[in-house]
Amino acid sequence: MEDFSLEKRIHTVAFDKEKCIGCVDCVKACPTRAIRVRDGMATAMWELCIDCGECVRVCHYDAALSLTSSPAELKKFKYKIAMPSPVLYTQFGRQVHPDRVLQALKMIGFDDVYDETWMCEMVSAAIDTYLTECSGPWPCISTTCPAVMRLITIRYPDLVEHLIPIIAPRELAARDLKRKKAAQLSLAEDDIGIFHITPCSAKSEAINDPLELASSHLDGAISIREVFGPISKALKEIDRVELEHSFSPIGMDWAMGGGEIAGMRNENVLAVNGARQTLEVLDRIDSRQFRNVDFLEILLCPDGCISGPLTIAGRYEAQHTLALLIQHVASQSRVKEEKVRSLYREHYFAFEREIKTRPVQPLGPTITEGAAKAREKLAILGQLPKKDCAACGAPDCRTFADDVIRGRAKMSDCVFVRLEELGETIARAPMAQPSPKVPSE
């Protein structure tokens, strides 16, 4: 991918030059307008990329890639632990108990496994506690989806203070697990590798460069696509499984959009799923709407993590499987609310550092120059057809005008401008005179 900026942060999405045909599907899907097609190939402006994987989801040619960890990276550690997203349990059909999936993970190279569903339930309870004690600003916004968090830091910097300062379950679980296992096994924490089995590239990026932590407590993220085949093969070799683990049905529901708020007591909450819906709601919050809502669960994928771009099972099939699995593991037990409140007051769930914004660079270095560039941008936009066809390689005419102002594109990249210029050239050209006839002898 072409680097349009000075930002050198390692990203977890890329394009395969051999497979990309420049079809502009990814350009239109990108929620931050970070992708362009230049010289027939998709490229990205890294300062706008949030590693959400929407380009991976919509690419029909497998040209958009998600750069997650590979199983080969397990060799770096003396003791390897798999921590699957609850989404993994939905990928193998309703007959496969989650405990069989965990056993299969141990058969394909992990020394141990950890189910994070109980931690998910604890975080739901911790959010309830936070909402009873905070004084706004409202609405509070979930920090479960790292792509949403990055989107806010780039496009909605004024909403950063709305992000609820509670660490995601996968990081809380990894923090505790690494300390516990190091003590049990008499190993250094660096010798223990904990890998999240993930449905999306955004969680992999959150491990590489977390916003709310000094560094991630996880050592990598392996795509569900990567392990699906080996797990499926291992499952065939399991005749019977001893049910060693208990699973929180509330925590398992986190795989679906709305699952986070389903485990909360507070009823003044809303769930929003999907890139377009996310942008619409964040625009409205930025315009001071939704102030009467306490909490918003916002996930960038259409149905929540269960429809992440790195999954195998179809989203509706996975939803059906999840509903049946939750019934199968359902129990009356819940995490103790008193324990969660005590941990909350000990700052167990709290962010380790303040989240910084990364707003888009202004059009000019000073207010005066920026205003002049803005007027110039409007003038350029007035010359464009406003068809938002993406034939220029930008997602819409407004973004293309911004690219022209910033020197990333030229007016002739617009096919309609080129056609108009060609028409004017033809109109100005002198009429060709007929050649004089040569008299015949």
User: Taking every pair of C-alpha atoms in the chain, what is the biggest distance, in angstroms?
Assistant: 115
pLDDT surpasses 50 at 162: yes
pLDDT surpasses 60 at 274: yes
**Residue 100 to residues 88, 106, 193, 240: CA-CA distances in angstroms?**
12, 10, 22, 8
- Distant-in-sequence, close-in-space partners of 138: CB < 8 Å, separation ≥ 6: 162, 290, 291, 292, 293, 294
| The pLDDT value given to residue 71 | 81
CATH class label, 71-345: alpha beta
CATH 1.10.15.40 fits 364-425, yes or no: yes
Res. 440 pLDDT band, cuts 50 70 90: low
| The pLDDT value given to residue 328 | 85
Q: Which fold has domain 1-67?
A: Alpha-Beta Plaits (3.30.70)
pLDDT surpasses 50 at 1: no
Is the CB of residue 349 less than 8 Å from the CB of residue 167?
yes
Distance CA 344, CA 164 (A): 13
Res. 421 pLDDT band, cuts 50 70 90: confident
What DSSP line would sit under 56-107, residue for residue?
A: HHH-TTS-EEE--B-GGGGGG-SEEEEEE-GGGGGSS-TTS-HHHHHHHHHH
Res. 439 pLDDT band, cuts 50 70 90: low
| The pLDDT value given to residue 5 | 38
> What are the residues facing 269 on neighbouring strands?
295
Average pLDDT over residues 232-260: 90
Q: Where are the domains of the chain?
A: 1-67, 71-345, 364-425
* Residue closest to 50 by CA, chosen among 154, 133, 143: 154
pLDDT surpasses 70 at 2: no
Q: What tens digit of pLDDT does each residue of 83-134 get? A: 999 999 999 999 999 999 999 999 999 999 999 999 999 999 999 999 999 9
- β-pairing verdict for 41-44 and 35-38: antiparallel
| Phi, psi of 184, deg, nearest 5 | -65, -40
CA 269 to chain centroid: 22
| The pLDDT value given to residue 35 | 96
**In a 3-state reduction of DSSP, which class is residue 387?**
coil
Q: Higher pLDDT residue, 358 or 260? A: 260
Res. 427 pLDDT band, cuts 50 70 90: confident
| The pLDDT value given to residue 424 | 82
| The pLDDT value given to residue 324 | 94
**In a 3-state reduction of DSSP, which class is residue 170?**
helix
| The pLDDT value given to residue 441 | 54
Mean predicted lDDT score pLDDT of the chain: 92
Distance CA 134, CA 150 (A): 23
Q: What tens digit of pLDDT does each residue of 382-418 get? A: 999 999 999 999 999 999 999 999 999 999 999 999 9
Q: What tens digit of pLDDT does each residue of 26-83 get? A: 999 999 999 999 999 999 998 899 999 999 999 999 999 999 998 889 999 999 999 9
Q: Is 290 left (phi over 0), alpha (psi -120 to 50) or beta?
A: left
| The pLDDT value given to residue 420 | 86
pLDDT surpasses 90 at 340: yes
CA dihedral over 68, 74, 77, 82, signed as positive or negative: positive
Is the CB of residue 318 less than 8 Å from the CB of residue 87?
yes
pLDDT surpasses 70 at 4: no
Res. 351 pLDDT band, cuts 50 70 90: very high
Q: Higher pLDDT residue, 358 or 51? A: 51
Residue reference for tokens 């060609």 = 422
Q: Is the peptide bond before 165 cis (omega within 30 degrees of 0)?
A: no
| The pLDDT value given to residue 436 | 66
**Least confident window among 104-118, 286-300, 364-378:** 364-378
Average pLDDT over residues 193-211: 95
Average pLDDT over residues 408-434: 84
Instruction: Give the type of residue at 45.
Output: M
* Residue closest to 80 by CA, chosen among 111, 115, 116, 113: 111
